[in-house]
Amino acid sequence: MNPARPRSTPARLLWDAGGLWSLWTLEACRAQGWDIAPVSAAQLRENGLDQARALVMPGGWPSLKRAALGQAGAAAIKAFLEAGGRYLGFCGGAGLALAEDDGLGLVDMARGRGRRRLPSLSGPVMVAPGPEAAEHPLWRGLETPARFHVWFPGQFAAESGESFYTVARYGHPAPGLHTADLRVDQVDQTQWPALEEAYGLRLDPSGLAGRAAVVEARRGAGRLLLSYLHLDTPGDPVGGQALANLWRTWLDLEPKDPPPRPTADQGEGPAREWTWEAEALWSRGEALGLWRPRDQALPLWRRGARGLEFHSLRSLCQALAVRECPPRAGLSPETLADLEELWREGPAVLAWQAASLAGDDQPPPPAARSWFPAPRRSGGALGRVLATLEGALLRAEQAARR
């Protein structure tokens, strides 16, 4: 049986392997009045881009998105662009378009490596147009330089080529920019070499100035805007204005009035209980010093703490709680067991993380070994629950559009 196809809309959003980032992008686009429909990789392969004029690719690991799409999905995106479609990629969605083993090869450009790579940047940064892009529609109505946000971006290996050029270049750090868990404007610039040796990675952001943050590319009759800036950052009016500019220019449409935003007290059903449990875990981690508030988009976690995973857990639970979700009876026994494991073992995993970061070399509990099988990866019950929440959110969104 073919997957259900979305109601016709001008823009589609690939949901798979995005998690928190897919939710960010969907809500940011909707807040700017984009008529956008999330689709799964399976739906995209089954003519899910029919009648679409734009495909939005959220952040997340390019390798996971590439695997979800498969050869048929990659071919569908290439055909969509060749025929005149538009592709908007944020962060990992930008990296997915590059000529890499984990990419689709939509643009003849690689990812920056070596000294060109600054892997742990997060927060606000000042950005200006490239010299050839002062009139680009992204910049309409914006003062320059403008304050955008980045969240652990990759970097482009080049600023221009035969089929692409730079739309936005990094400037100087804005107050609140962090590299790893260090606030840039609170670090003595002479200390970067020692800090980089202690952390074992590049930290000094000074070399980023002048490098490409956003590029525009051509493929066939289509266009791609690849942005390591997160224009979808929650609560960011500058990124929101840029999104509205792109909508008007690419689709020649005025944004619609955004739908009313549901609030947490509207939630009901099992997902509301999961939200309470996830919030309790988050509060426990905060009490242990693993993370702390930073801004309305993302908190700040200590290097080595799994803040992104636990923040994603509570954010996805909350998002599902304010949407129609399946009753508890509709959940598989395996999913219920995974949830029980999270709530039961979570406090011990957090305590181990805190002890480990304090220098206590105790072995991790079994749950930690299965939940975090490798750096920047989630597995076991945690990985399965995050995937289940992602899938449930997609189903709820698509049911609401029917």
Confidence of residue 3 (pLDDT cuts 50, 70, 90): very low
Question: Comparing 22-31, 220-229, 245-254, which segment has the lowest mean pLDDT?
Answer: 245-254
| pLDDT of amino acid 110 | 94
**Mean pLDDT value of segment 123-135:** 93
Confidence of residue 263 (pLDDT cuts 50, 70, 90): low
Tokens of 24: 């960010």
Sign of CA dihedral 274, 276, 281, 285: positive
DSSP-assigned letters across all residues of 155-192: -BS-S--SSEEEEEEEEEEPTT-EETTEEGGGS-GGGH
Question: How much is the mean pLDDT over the chain?
Answer: 91
Q: Write down the architecture of domain 11-251 according to CATH.
A: 3-Layer(aba) Sandwich (3.40)
Please list the residues that pair with 183 across neighbouring strands: 178
**Which residue did the predictor score with more confidence, 258 or 332?**
332
Q: Percent of the chain beyond pLDDT 70?
A: 93
Does pLDDT of 258 surpass 90? no
**Which residue did the predictor score with more confidence, 330 or 89?**
89
| pLDDT of amino acid 159 | 87
Cα separation, 164 vs 166, in Å, equals 7
- The beta-strand segments (E) located in 29-99 are 36-39, 54-57, 86-90
| pLDDT of amino acid 324 | 61
In single-letter form, the type of residue at position 47 comes to N
Confidence of residue 256 (pLDDT cuts 50, 70, 90): confident
pTM score of the predicted model: 0.94
Does pLDDT of 262 surpass 80? no
Tokens of 356: 């480990």
| pLDDT of amino acid 332 | 86
What are the residue boundaries of the structural domains of the chain, listed by start?
11-251, 264-401
For the chain, state the CA radius of gyration.
21
**pLDDT tens figures, 203-245:** 999 989 999 999 999 999 999 999 999 999 999 999 999 999 9
Exposed / middle / buried, residue 3 (Cβ in 10 Å: 0-12, 13-18, 19+) = middle
